[in-house]
Amino acid sequence: MQAVLAASRALEQEHCALTVAEVQGRAAAVQEQSAALMEARRQELRAQHEAERRQAQQRQADAAAGLRVCCICYDELDVAGGIECGAAGAAAHFTCDACFGEHVLSESEKDLHDLRERGGQVFCPLRLHGCPCASPYPGQAAAAHVAGPVFGAFLQAQARLAEQVLVRELEQQYEVRLAAERAQLVAMAADELQVEHTRRHVVDRLLTLQCPRCGAAFLDFNGCFALTCHRCACGFCAYCLADCGGDAHAHVAACPHRGGGESVFGQPGAFEAAQRRRRQRMVQEYLATLAERLRGRVVAACAQDFADLNLDVQT
């Protein structure tokens, strides 16, 4: 067996081993394949670099020419024809004036819940789609890039929000005050309770200028005695608080309680004088309906309220 194994190894070495030429040929083939792969990779990197270089050149050319692409309509136009959001550098989104005007109008016409969420301001159109900008467009920028009616809608939206906030604060203050007064009323005697209830009626219903339909306090006189409720849109008369449906102008023009020389329109001073007369008249008419024993106590309870409004109420 040893002889057989020795003969087998000799035959393997003689007939199966690669020759020097074969080894060199295989090495050359491997080198050629490796060189081909390296050349292909080099060409790929060169093409990628060339594409990036061309893109950079195009961006530089666009920047030099002052051109930007609108993030809404994708039109390319001069940078002066639009506005950028507050994101830094290349992350800033450009919106052309036409698209920006539509965006501002759309944001301004949304409901009060949405306006409260963003404080009545207008943000980048892509704020909810990855834009890092956290600040709204300045009001001056909005005025410079939108038409007058659109900017008017923007201001009206802020006014609606401010009015709602004010009304809500007043209602909350009223509820807090009412809750405190209710707690005090619990301890009052029956007669005292009646006097206090009557005083509240005088203060809330007669002295306070309010809508005759829903009871909302009227806050903002704009020069017209035909008033409109901010809550229910009721039209009512500033002289007598008559509910006139949707428009009180016709009633105001003929109201018997209108003072001499006054018209449907007037200055704030004339409005305050008219309200003083209305309060005086309505309080006196109401006191006349009370029992005599109660009338004097109600007037005494309302003395400070009457003094604050410069009213001279007689029992």
Q: How much is the pLDDT for 227?
A: 95
How many degrees, rounded to 5, is the angle at CA 174 between CA 287 and CA 306?
30
d(CA 133, CA 112): 23
The two three-digit tokens of residue 107, written as one number: 């944001």
| Region class of 237: left (phi > 0), else alpha (psi between -120 and 50), else beta | beta
Q: How much is the pLDDT for 152?
A: 86
Q: How much is the pLDDT for 55?
A: 74
- Do 214 and 203 touch, CB atoms closer than 8 A? no
Tens digit of each residue's pLDDT (9 = 90 or more) over 173-188:
888 888 888 887 776 6
Residue bearing tokens 């609108």: 70
Q: Which CATH number fits domain 67-187: 3.30.40.10, 3.40.50.170, 2.60.120.620, 1.10.3720.10?
A: 3.30.40.10
Q: Where are the alpha helices (DSSP H) in the chain?
A: 2-15, 20-65, 97-108, 112-117, 139-145, 148-185, 190-201, 249-254, 268-287, 292-301, 303-308
Q: How much is the pLDDT for 59?
A: 64
Parts of the chain with a pLDDT under 50: none
Tens digit of each residue's pLDDT (9 = 90 or more) over 36-56:
777 777 778 778 878 877 876
Q: How much is the pLDDT for 91?
A: 83
- Do 227 and 249 touch, CB atoms closer than 8 A? no
**Any residues with CB less than 8 A from the CB of 94 and at least 6 apart, and which?**
68, 69, 70, 71, 79, 82, 83, 84
User: Could you tell me the residue ranges of all domains in the chain?
Assistant: 2-65, 67-187, 188-308
Q: How much is the pLDDT for 22?
A: 64
Q: How much is the pLDDT for 253?
A: 92
Q: How much is the pLDDT for 20?
A: 61
Whether this prediction's pTM lies above 0.85 is answered by: no
- Do 125 and 77 touch, CB atoms closer than 8 A? no
